[in-house]
Amino acid sequence: MGASSGMGYELAKLMLRDGHTLGLAARRLQPLKELQTAYPQQVKISAIDVTAADAPQRIQSLIEELGGIDIYFHSSGIGKQNWMLDATIEEATLRTNALGFTQCIGTVYRYFASRPEGGHIACISSIAGTKGLGVAPSYSATKAFQNCYMQALEQQANMRHLPIRFTDIRPGFVDTALLNDSHHYPMLIQPEKAARQIYKALLRNRHVVVIDWRYRLLVPLWKLLPNAIWRRLRIRTRDGE
């Protein structure tokens, strides 16, 4: 889900080269059609808006067209810096990263729960869920929601004795269209590099993965900072806001 650009698109290319059969979904079909043309025997595509009411039905239809799935990968998401707390930006982020995320993940969870072999649910969240970022309130809050939701589902699956595996991918700043907003982002990661690390994490059935090594060092330090210090930090962007 969300395979039309960025890490989702790059991961799809890696998996197709390895011979996997994929169902690719996104709002924009053209990038998916290009992959389908390159790998006609391996790709099924569907136009799905994760915030739409019919998203669960479209996901189920794509699963049926594939003859079933073993892994669901969710890379759909939006995020913007919102220094002035524009209500439109906040609400759109909540609809996509919280409501849309929940209905898609929930649909696939119920599908995997209904079959004896279970399956694997993976998503791209973010290190932004570690602490509330003043420059992106709804983004950091929805990423924390995703982290907690995946953790809760993993515990529930174990309690219900369901053979469902989970992988929560938490990248730092990745050089994708999501960050194409003229702001400054430190330690940018190229999407191709991130996709390679994601693919390895999926093959190894990792539970939580921070990408890349620089952020694996940074995130524990963030967690240790007391709120009294964190609330006083001044995070500035290139344009001086």
> How do residues 154-180 score in pLDDT, each as one tens digit?
999 999 999 999 999 999 877 765 545
Are the C-beta atoms of residues 177 and 5 closer than 8 Å to each other? Answer: yes
**Letter for the amino acid at 210?**
V
Name 166's bridge partners: 121
- pLDDT for 4: 94
Look at the domain 69-230 and name its fold.
Rossmann fold (3.40.50)
- pLDDT for 141: 97
- pLDDT for 241: 34
The pLDDT tens digits of the residues spanning 99-108 come to 999 999 999 9
Are the C-beta atoms of residues 175 and 115 closer than 8 Å to each other? Answer: no
- Regions of the chain with pLDDT less than 70: 176-186, 235-241
| Of 17, 100, 9, residue with least CA distance to 55 | 100
- pLDDT for 222: 87
233 contacts: CB under 8 Å, gap ≥ 6:
none
- pLDDT for 180: 52
- pLDDT for 218: 87
207 contacts: CB under 8 Å, gap ≥ 6:
154, 166, 167, 168
- pLDDT for 127: 92
| First-residue to last-residue Cα distance in the chain | 33
